[in-house]
Structure 1
Amino acid sequence: MHMVMYLMVQEPITLIGGIHEVSIHDAQQNKYSLSRYYAMWNKPRPESSTIDKQSSSKFLNASEKQQFYRELASAAESGWDFGTRWMRDTSEFTTLATTSVLPVDLNVFILKMELDISFLAREIGADGIAENFLKASQARQRAINSVFWNEKMGQWLDYWLSNGTTCKVESQTWEAQNQNQNVFASNFVPLWIDLFNSDTPLVEKVMRSLQTSGLVCAAGIATSLTNSGQQWDFPNGWAPLQHMIVEGLARSKLIEARSMAKEIAERWIRTNYVAYKKTGAMHEKYDVEKCGESGGGGEYVVQTGFGWSNGVVLAFLEEFGWPRDQSIDCIS
Structure 2
Amino acid sequence: MRVWHIEDGRLVEGSASDGTGSRGRIEALDERELDMEGAGHVLREAVAQVPHAYVPFIEFAPGMAAGVIALPAGASNGAPPVNVGVVLEPARLRLIGQMEACSEALTFLVRERVPMAGAAGALCGVMRYAVRDHPVLLSAVRRDFEVLEERLLEGHRRVDRGKMMADARRLMGFDALYQGMSDIASELSEGSDELVAQGDRLRFHSLARMLDRLSTRLESLQDYSLQLNGLYQEEIDIRQNSVMQWLTVIATIFMPLTFITGWYGMNFPTMAMLQEPWGYPLVVAVCLVIAVAEIVCFHRRGWLHFGGRRRPHPSRHGSARRKTK
TM-score (norm 1): 0.24
Answer 1 or 2: which has greater helix percent. Answer: 2
TM-score by structure 2 length? 0.25
Q: Decide which structure has the larger Cα Rg and report it.
A: 2
